[in-house]
Copies of this chain bind each other. A is one copy, B any other.
């Protein structure tokens, strides 16, 4: 098991030795000015990334064969370049199966995934509309899909960009949507919650998360909206007598959830449930982005009553932590 993390190295003095398990995110052969070959690595774990240098790739203590995506055990020492931490790698071998846990090696939700899953299934259980209930039951009963749904990040780098992020985001949305639904009697609660559960299901195919978080080529060419619709359409078509109009509405919820053409939704929300889905999805993503931004400010040593820097994903606005600022008043 892994007991030393990249974040722990910050306080290490120059030259101190250590070893740990890492995921190889990048591997490249380079040459020094005197034309000697060396290897440049980017190693990662759930707390961050670290540049590694292997100055003597022919050393017998360095594995011959390892590649991007492998989990390795590496030993070496701390060095610094331009105030940036590096690792001088002296020994390296591939990890045996199960020697290390992948959830230690990529950023992951801090919540309990089994609990989140139970929450999700509880919402499905609460449905009174039988067709939507059997649709969701059928989709989530697919074990391969369910496993991916539990693991997938919600995005590559904006909000909820960690393992389990998709599930975490969906469960938060389910709770929020379930609070909002009774306020508008016109809303079909089960259809709204179905939209919440399925709107981003295509992300399990749009994104790959075995080595860092990346878009697949298929994901880049088709997008999660289209991939999710295809997946849901296929399941519906396998269910006998699924009402055609309900099918259209479920697909419309997925298709329109980004809310605007220029955000990649080819149709605007045209039913109340689709409008509400777009709002709660957008609100939850922004509230999560704000929380992330406040954490980042704190990490960078800003006082609780200072404004954050300009936030790119929120139209370059700066943010202020309400309580931090009020508490800072003399």
| Partner-B contacts on A (CB < 8 A) | 13-14, 30, 33-35, 80, 83, 172, 175-176, 179-180, 182-184, 186, 188, 191, 217-218, 220-223, 225-226, 229-230, 233-234, 237, 243-246, 248-249, 251-252, 255, 261-273, 275-276, 279, 282-283, 286-287, 290-291, 305-307, 314-315, 317-323, 325-326, 328-329
| Chain B residues whose CB sits within 8 angstroms of the CB of A319 once the complex forms | 270-271
Q: Are B268 and A249 in contact (CB under 8 A)?
A: no
Cα distance, A291 to B279, chains bound together (Å): 17
Q: Are A322 and B273 in contact (CB under 8 A)?
A: yes
Cα distance, A83 to B33, chains bound together (Å): 7
Cα distance, A321 to B268, chains bound together (Å): 15
| Chain B residues whose CB sits within 8 angstroms of the CB of A326 once the complex forms | 188, 243, 245-246, 249
Closest to A187 in B: B322
Q: Are B283 and A245 in contact (CB under 8 A)?
A: no
Cα distance, A286 to B246, chains bound together (Å): 23
Shortest distance from the beta carbon of A270 to any chain B beta carbon, whole Å:
5
Q: Are B221 and A248 in contact (CB under 8 A)?
A: yes
Partner of A261, one of B30, B35, B261, B276: B261
Shortest distance from the beta carbon of A207 to any chain B beta carbon, whole Å:
14
| Chain B residues whose CB sits within 8 angstroms of the CB of A172 once the complex forms | 183
Q: Are B180 and A267 in contact (CB under 8 A)?
A: no
19 new A-B pairs (CB below 8 Å) besides A221-B320, A226-B251, A270-B307?
A14-B33, A30-B83, A33-B80, A33-B83, A179-B182, A186-B322, A217-B307, A218-B248, A221-B271, A223-B255, A226-B255, A245-B326, A262-B262, A264-B267, A268-B314, A270-B317, A275-B286, A276-B287, A279-B279
Partner of A220, one of B80, B287, B318: B318
Q: Are B188 and A323 in contact (CB under 8 A)?
A: yes
Partner of A244, one of B13, B307, B329: B329
Cα distance, A169 to B305, chains bound together (Å): 33
